[in-house]
Chains A and B, each alone.
Chain A
């Protein structure tokens, strides 16, 4: 592996994808033969045109979507084949941030943050709402980190888009994850808020020392915040290197067309 592909030298791969293949309609694969290693703290951006399979790939990693074949090794568990308890225990170590925030609208910010700990609680304890004091403290701490202390008891649907995404990031961090996945976290936000959110993701990832894997459309944002960029096109990975190595020619290969570049 080149230095660009292993951001922290000597770190073992937290996530190892081998030969991943997904097709919704038989004979029309979304992607095939995906090999990927993610290790060490740092932000990796996946770019590619719509329909290239970025969202599907991210969702395969925490098995929200079941891959057709292949292997997804995360901390010793093959997520492609796991089910039941081992799958849930692996999932709780992977935090996810969504394009449309996916907060539970009718619950308050605090309640949404605490749902991040559901992977660590039995259903009965959760039903009785007896969250451990440590979790509640962690929630308040994270609220401060994302700058939303005053909104602890506000209903999620009363927040702006940028605020909701902050809650989404805080919820993912509540899980004390070893990996953060983000599926186009800034696509629904205005340019300024998008930068703030990417900054938050990058900083928190570094602070926790964990890899952050982000799908994005905005190449400028990718260049600005990602240490490593992966380009997907035509069902496979066509580029995997540092942000600096991402040339205009390479972008043409990934996205096709020329008009949009200038």
Chain B
């Protein structure tokens, strides 16, 4: 899988095999904290350290709905973009098929936000420790938990690539 800037308006993820296509398609679903209070609490954090401060209550009433709308809107954009996979190589004689995905540069910030939601929810739902998150990635995958740590790393790789594109734009402005 590689990420290429095809023109001023478009970034393309190329050489996506069936494994990565599945990981990409899971991004919107992974942003849902579900019933996990810790994951939900991480997406909607309190603005004041003192739990008794009235600002926390006001925040829940007035700011959280705005943030929820912002996050849902970003996720919806990503979901729409993910409907545009194009097959670039037929899978023949045991070879994997390959796909590409074009993403408008104007959507990159929404992708960054959605990937962040997904990474935070994955980390919180699995209760990954700081050490697990900071450790070099292990190629051994024996459980769903190992797989979800891999997802966090891959989504982070995508974020890094998108950030480089934003940097490049800022430098040329």
Q: Are A and B part of the same complex?
A: no
Binding site for B on A (CB under 8 A): none
